[in-house]
Structure 1
């Protein structure tokens, strides 16, 4: 059981870290391709890659009729609604505000896990989330809370709520279905949901930018690394840990984003960053040590 927790923590940390680095790439591409079309393109690439991986693993793609509603719900809520509102919220406000509101995801996961999975609310879970949230605030900066406009904050809050809900729903998927299969079907569902919007707006998008090498590389990163690979790792990590504790590792997203901003963009980091790292590390240790 302890080994499962360690591997689960590793998968979740890697996935969230990849998403933390994704903000730099999205910032480059969104200047040429609107948010919804960008999500659609990364999902199109991801579905092709995931399907190829599934075929290489000889996955049986059949799904029982009773399990279809749950998988489709995961795709609509997590892959479509959550990601689009996150992109739109960040676009309307700022990455800093997005990081702060994202810190609420673990709290929402604890509540959803208590409601849907009947997981116990323990002081260890509450303490770990509190430490992680304070750590994120120290890393990003409390001043970021006042940045951006109200609509952007509303979109980001919806993104945090829906991602937490989706992450708990994945725990209800029978273990008969490999993470690659669930991720492929959920991503394909989101692709179908977004297709009508993309078709209606196709004339307003400057598609010729897709021929630029920089845009191609960024799209491949978003589709292959941050979607196909990271989503599979997140889903696999969720199966190895309890839902409430799993959400804690989402805080790696703002941590890595801030660290890369320092390394690549030359943004300054100070005492708050390192204090936040210590608090987040303590919260993760509590989760691994005391979680069910």
Structure 2
């Protein structure tokens, strides 16, 4: 498909559907945790994604050759990927989809702050600074608005660590030779390295299996095929067609859909504070992504 200078009708519909897909994924993870222990489930997902990606790359004639200078950044991104999903799957086991999604999708905030410090020419504009303040206010409202300070708060904090790891991966791609590696190989680095790390870590988190039912198996297959492998490749396909800043501007829809689906599908109690935090984070993400920048997505 030819490169385009703006988002057309097809692109807009595809990006809205993709954002809905990501929001629904948070619900699927929480449901899947009912059958599989969270860290073990994250490891299974990465392991399954390795198989799907190998098959897809073989069918497309894509090799796994990468520049030697990209190996270390690739290993680092794989380690961050493992930590991100260990935290995210555990967070969704402890807190609600709505709260975890609002906090997770604050990632552009931490990426923008790190980029402003580490990358020349990435200084904060007034608009982006306002976006940062709005989104950080949303995260603070979500964290400080929690009444209980037990497992739920731990889940919120784990979601924040996941967001920081996601930002770390995106920053790694921006400032290291990993940026020279095609998307399929970048993803293979992440799932190939994270699979053994997560499965090994799962040994320290109790039983692997809880009460596996067909819905949990279906949820795991959904994540492996439609999210962790083909979904991520679809995102990069859209990135290859449309401007990065325009694609990134749709990212604020993912936490919106996640909160709505958490309420509609799981019956979560979404209070005023969560809606307020969601509004602040979504507005902040939109403002941060208004100018051209490297966009990243974690699904």
Instruction: Provide the residue aligned with 1:98 in structure 2.
Output: 100
Q: Which runs of 5+ in 2 are unaligned?
A: 294-299
Superposed displacement of residue 101, structure 1 = 2.4
Q: Is the 8 A contact 1:262 1:269 kept in 2?
A: yes
Q: Is the 8 A contact 1:85 1:155 kept in 2?
A: yes
Instruction: Provide the residue aligned with 1:124 in structure 2.
Output: 127
Aligned-residue CA RMSD (Å): 4.0
Instruction: Provide the residue aligned with 1:264 in structure 2.
Output: 265
State how far apart, in whole Å, the 2-side matches of 1:142 and 1:203 are.
Answer: 27
Q: Is the 8 A contact 1:86 1:156 kept in 2?
A: yes
Q: Is the 8 A contact 2:128 2:287 kept in 1?
A: no
State how far apart, in whole Å, the 2-side matches of 1:155 and 1:282 are.
Answer: 21
Q: TM-score, normalised by structure 2?
A: 0.75
Relative distance call for 1:148 and 1:122 in structure 2 (3 A) is same
State how far apart, in whole Å, the 1-side matches of 2:116 and 2:148 are.
Answer: 32
Can you list the C-alpha shifts for 1:101-142, whole angstroms capped at 9, x where unaligned? 22432210101222333322111222334455667899xx78
State how far apart, in whole Å, the 2-side matches of 1:251 and 1:20 are.
Answer: 11
Instruction: Provide the residue aligned with 1:218 in structure 2.
Output: 219
Instruction: Provide the residue aligned with 2:232 in structure 1.
Output: 231
Q: Which runs of 5+ in 1 are unaligned?
A: none
2:55 pairs with 1:52? yes
1:89 alignment partner, one of 85, 88, 91: 91
Instruction: Provide the residue aligned with 2:113 in structure 1.
Output: 111
The within-5 A match list for 1:130-169 is 130-131=133-134, 144-147=145-148, 149=150, 150-169=153-172
Relative distance call for 1:236 and 1:10 in structure 2 (3 A) is farther
State how far apart, in whole Å, the 2-side matches of 1:266 and 1:46 are.
Answer: 30
Q: Is the 8 A contact 1:40 1:195 kept in 2?
A: yes
Instruction: Provide the residue aligned with 2:184 in structure 1.
Output: 180
Q: Is the 8 A contact 2:45 2:228 kept in 1?
A: yes
Relative distance call for 1:101 and 1:184 in structure 2 (3 A) is same
* Secondary structure at 2:253 match in 1: helix
Relative distance call for 1:223 and 1:148 in structure 2 (3 A) is farther
Instruction: Provide the residue aligned with 2:256 in structure 1.
Output: 255
State how far apart, in whole Å, the 1-side matches of 2:224 and 2:199 are.
Answer: 16
State how far apart, in whole Å, the 1-side matches of 2:66 and 2:210 are.
Answer: 36
* Secondary structure at 2:128 match in 1: helix
* Secondary structure at 1:204 match in 2: coil
Relative distance call for 1:117 and 1:55 in structure 2 (3 A) is farther
Q: TM-score, normalised by structure 1?
A: 0.76
Corresponding pairs, count: 282
Which deviates more, 52-61 or 173-182? 173-182
Q: Is the 8 A contact 1:128 1:283 kept in 2?
A: yes
State how far apart, in whole Å, the 1-side matches of 2:148 and 2:271 are.
Answer: 20
